[in-house]
Amino acid sequence: MASAQAATDGDEAHVVCESIHLGFGGRDVFVDLNCEMVAGHVTVLMGTSGTGKSTLLRLIGGLQRPDAGSIRVAGSELSGLAEVGLAEVRTRLGMLFQNGALLDSMTIFDNVALPLREHTKLARDQIAAEVRDRLDAVGLEDVEHLLPGELSGGMLRRAALARAIIESPEVLLCDEPFSGLDPPNVERIEGLLTRLNRERGLTVIVTSHHMASSLRMGHRIILLKDKAAVSGTPRELAMSEDSEIHDFIGADGAAYLKTLSDAEAAS
Amino acid sequence: MSNPVSDLGRQTLGFVSALGNITRFGSDVVRNLFRPPPRIARTIEAIYDLGFLSLVLIATSGFAVGAVLGLQGYTTLVRFGAEQSLGAVVGLSLIRELGPVLTGLLVTGRAGSSVAAEIGAMVATEQLDGLRMMSVNPIHFVVLPKAVAMTLVMPLLSAIFIVCAIYGGYIVGVELLGLDGGAYIASLEDSVDFREDIVGSVLKAWIFGMIIGLISTHRGYTSAPNAAGVSRATTSTVVIGSVTILFSDYFITALWGV
Ligand SMILES: Nc1ncnc2c1ncn2[C@@H]1O[C@H](COP(=O)(O)OP(=O)(O)OP(=O)(O)O)[C@@H](O)[C@H]1O
Ligand SMILES: [Mg+2]
């Protein structure tokens, strides 16, 4: 309901990438890449390994500068900003790194509490309550006192997600939140992201190899291929005639179209 | 392709730009020194890691160096019949030179390398980027506490080194070689000037601490984000740190006469 509303009245773009060029040591990763992520939408970034999904998230977070092109996040042009200005923009962003990027000298609790301790004056027990709430939401319990090194990869990434959402950002950048998770946890994280998007209007930008969940949760899908971006609704991509896209989406596309038509038939 | 002149030119340019980079990094660190919040807990933690955990190394090394000085000094002095001045010889060379310099070299190897490796590993695992994304300045949060801790612990470690070394010299000279204990201490007390020697020694150690703190954090902070980058940061901290300490020791001695 709220998501339908966001989709109609909020067609304004939260993140816009225009004519991005980026190369590393003579090897081009992006050549004239254009894409945008709509406010209040879940946008899924897809593409085979090495096409630059993580790199695109780093560009949006201002951790990496493009060789040319413009990136606007919530109206701010990143290229003109120094580190202080970037820090300001980043207060609106939350980011889940592919490997969690938790501080390994601090416990999980301290890691998740860090943004609140740095930026708010909340009392100790309020912070503790917030941290427990977020850890609960990602399905972690009894890990607060552990160090990141004592957690599995999937647990780490969930703890990192808890840290990314603790300050209620406007835009959440998620790098592979599902990889290495078992089906119940994929469902839980997918549910959490969808819920944050619906209830709080959070703009979610998520990279994923998990085709079925991407088609289910994405309002739009951006497919990185040939150093540029192709975007469309899940339905458009699932019905695409392009053989490369067809091969990439595979059987999950057909299954997704079938559930759509079943749903239409039922209603 | 390469000729010696262009090689020299390139190396000079490389050196100058490296110097520029570390100067900019250093001024960034200093500017962050005055920004709130003060990182007291993190600095204390770093003092423990870098200082307290270096104590055994510093104390035993100091004792060994003092023992050797005692032995060498005795065999030289006895030829001139001046063995009663052993305390002065051991004490002065330690306080003015060997204490701060050897402590600096040991701390570079023990603590400087670990700082570079730790920060380098944080770069490689995107922990610093993670801080940036939380709008936390990694220089303020990670670099500053370690650099400050290094600067604070060096004078203390150097003093401990000197005390242990004087004790080492005492054990050898008095207990082993049969010198008079009172003479050893008296010659030491007579020859050491508080302002000139002690203050100079502390100042030297303090400058070395800043040098090690800056070089080790800079090498880690700018390392390539992979395992090879971490190992290069560690090695270059030890190499650059040691050489810088030895050279700056010469300049401090020549300019200030300490
Ligand atoms: N710092 C860097 N230096 C050199 N090359 C880089 C750097 N960062 C990324 N690349 C290159 O950019 C390309 C995209 O990398 P990226 O990590 O964004 O891929 P990805 O789509 O996230 O892949 P995966 O699905 O495996 O996570 C790769 O070819 C990689 O080699
Ligand atoms: Mg990636």
pLDDT in tens, A60-116: 999 999 999 999 999 999 998 999 999 999 999 999 999 999 999 999 999 999 999
* Residue of the CA atom closest to atom 31 of ligand 1: A50
- On whether residue B130 sits in a domain, the answer given is yes
Residue B72 domain flag: yes
From ligand 1's centre to the CA of A56, what distance in Å? Answer: 9
Enclosing H/E stretch for B202: helix B200-221
What's the Rg (C-alpha) of chain B? 21
In a domain, B8, yes or no: no
* Selected residue with higher pLDDT from A13 and B206: B206
| Structural domains of chain B, count | 1
pLDDT of residue A58 exceeding 90, the answer is yes
Which range, of B65-74, B192-201, B233-242, averages the lowest pLDDT?
B192-201
Q: Is A255 exposed, middle or buried (0-12, 13-18, 19+ CB in 10 A)?
A: middle
d(CA B102, CA B249): 11
Other C-beta atoms closer than 10 Å to the C-beta of B185 total 15
Residue B177 sits in which domain range?
Answer: 37-256
* Cα A168 to middle of ligand 2, angstroms: 24
DSSP state of A139: T
Residue B25 located in a structural domain: no
In a domain, B23, yes or no: no
Task: Supply B102's token pair.
Answer: 């050897």
CA atoms within a 13 Å half-sphere pointing along the CA-CB vector of A17: 28
Residue B201: closest CA among B248, B253, B152: B253
* pLDDT of residue A254 exceeding 90: no
Q: Alpha-carbon distance B15 to B19, whole Å? A: 6
Residue A2 has pLDDT above 60, yes or no: no
Per-residue confidence (pLDDT) for residue A237, from 0 to 100: 86
> Does residue B226 belong to any structural domain of this protein?
yes
Q: Do A87 and B126 touch (CB under 8 A)?
A: no
State yes or no: pLDDT of A3 exceeds 70. Answer: no
What ranges make up the beta strands (E) of B15-157?
none
pLDDT at A38 over 80: yes
Closest CA to A223 of A19, A56, A97: A56
Residue to mutate, A33, A48, A53, A98, ligand 1, most ligand atoms under 8 Å from C-beta: A53
User: pLDDT by residue (tens digit) across A149-196?
Assistant: 999 988 999 999 999 999 999 999 999 999 888 989 899 899 999 999
Q: Is the C-beta atom of A52 inside 6 A of ligand 1? A: yes
Q: Which ligand number lies closest to the CA of residue A30?
A: 1
Residue B234, helix vs strand vs coil: helix
Chain B residues 15-34 with a CB less than 8 Å from chain A: none
In a domain, B21, yes or no: no
At B98, the pLDDT band (50, 70, 90 cuts) reads very high
- pLDDT tens profile B114-146: 999 999 999 999 999 999 999 999 999 999 999
The answer to whether the CB of A49 is under 6 A from ligand 1 is yes
Q: Which of chain A's residues have a Cβ under 8 Å away from the Cβ of B122?
A: 103-104
- Gyration radius from chain A CA atoms: 19
Contacts of B29 by beta carbon, 8 Å cutoff, 6+ apart:
B139, B143, B144, B147, B214, B217
Q: Closest to A114 (Cβ–Cβ): which among B132, B134, B137? A: B134
| 8 Å CB contact between A223 and A267 | no
Judge whether B252 lies within some domain.
Answer: yes
A-contacting residues in B 35-94 (Cβ below 8 Å)? none
- Residue B257 pLDDT > 80, yes or no? no
Q: 3-state DSSP call for residue A36?
A: strand
**What does the alpha-carbon distance between residue A178 and residue A157 come to, in Å, rounded to a whole number?**
9
Q: What are phi and psi of A121, to 5 degrees?
A: -110, 25
